[in-house]
């Protein structure tokens, strides 16, 4: 074996050690910089499938399937506190759609399953005056918003799976929102709370300049971009 080959293998070995400890939680963060410089596209075959890890806070507490809860409250007839089991027992909808971040990256044909947000709103029963939703994350910082009409679209899910498996912690599991027709920032991760309200309160990135109505190709100055 030539000297150069050995050197390369040692390099890869060191990489393996560095990555090994954090591989379950950290794959996406590790892979993202590689992916930026990957003309082969091979990194898309990795488990995170082209997604980049985003969080506005440094660390997010883990919620397991045993301790996860989703609160639906505000202008509703029946406030709900739903476990992951409760959500899994509701009718599940599947969507296969591209995921598009407003910063430019896109993951094609991602499979999602979950409960239609419309079904949750029906279960809770929205009161007169309910015109919008505020979403909060158990990361303690991120928020999002939708109008009731947007929320009732059939392509808006409270997602329980993505990429053919349970949603991993890095992707916002065990439960995140998936707003298929809008940019990725609308799909709040680590979903903890849905409050039904009478006015839209702009979410985390929307308070920092992103469009509240984040339609792919029709917002954030990207009207000409093909969808
Ligand atoms: N709680 C929370 N949700 C979030 C974000 C975030 O930083 N925190 N980033 C948003 C943005 S801008 C995008 S593009 C997607 C990225 O999802 P991913 O981290 O699974 O790739 O999550 C969205 N939801
Ligand atoms: Mo994004």
pLDDT-above-90 percentage for the chain? 75
Residue 194 CA to residue 92 CA, distance in Å, equals 19
Question: pLDDT higher for 9 or 27?
Answer: 27
- What's the pLDDT band for 32 if we cut at 50, 70, 90? low
Q: Is 203 in the pocket of ligand 1 (CB under 6 A)?
A: no
- What's the pLDDT band for 6 if we cut at 50, 70, 90? very low
Q: At the top level of CATH, which class does the domain 69-208 belong to?
A: alpha beta
Q: Which whole number is the average pLDDT over 206-220?
A: 97
Q: What is the mean pLDDT of the chain?
A: 85
pLDDT tens-digit readout, 147-197:
999 999 999 999 999 999 999 999 999 999 999 999 999 999 999 999 999
Residue 18 pLDDT > 50: no
Q: Is 54 in the pocket of ligand 1 (CB under 6 A)?
A: yes
Residue 11 pLDDT > 50: no
Q: What integer pLDDT is reported at residue 96 of this predicted model?
A: 98
For the chain, where do the domains classified as CATH 3.90.420.10 start and end? 69-208
Q: What integer pLDDT is reported at residue 35 of this predicted model?
A: 54
Q: Which whole number is the average pLDDT over 83-92?
A: 98
pLDDT tens-digit readout, 62-87:
999 999 999 999 999 999 999 999 99
Question: If you take atom 20 of ligand 1, which residue's CA is the nearest one?
Answer: 171
For ligand 1, pick from 47, 53, 54 the residue to mutate: most ligand atoms within 8 Å of CB: 54
Question: pLDDT higher for 12 or 174?
Answer: 174
């Amino acid at each position: 074996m030539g000297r150069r080959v050995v050197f390369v293998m040692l390099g890869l070995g060191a990489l393996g050690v560095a990555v090994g400890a954090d591989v379950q939680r950290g794959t996406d963060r590790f892979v993202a910089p590689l992916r930026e410089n990957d003309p082969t596209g091979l990194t898309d075959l990795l488990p995170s499938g082209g997604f980049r890890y985003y969080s506005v806070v440094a660390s997010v507490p883990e919620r397991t399937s045993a301790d996860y809860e989703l609160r639906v409250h505000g202008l509703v007839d029946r406030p709900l506190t739903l476990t992951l089991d409760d959500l899994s027992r509701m009718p599940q909808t599947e969507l296969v759609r591209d995921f598009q971040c407003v910063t430019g990256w896109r993951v094609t044909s991602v499979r999602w399953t979950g409960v239609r947000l419309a079904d949750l709103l029906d279960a809770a029963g929205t009161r007169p005056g309910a015109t919008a939703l505020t979403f909060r994350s158990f990361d303690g910082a991120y928020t999002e918003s939708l109008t009731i009409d947007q929320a009732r679209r059939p392509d808006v899910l409270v997602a329980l799976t993505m990429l053919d498996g349970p949603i991993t912690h890095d992707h916002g599991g065990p439960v995140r929102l998936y707003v298929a027709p809008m940019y990725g920032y609308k799909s709040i991760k680590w979903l903890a709370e849905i409050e039904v309200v009478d006015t839209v309160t702009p979410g985390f990135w929307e308070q920092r300049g992103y469009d509240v109505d984040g339609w792919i190709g029709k917002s954030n100055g990207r009207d000409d971009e093909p969808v």
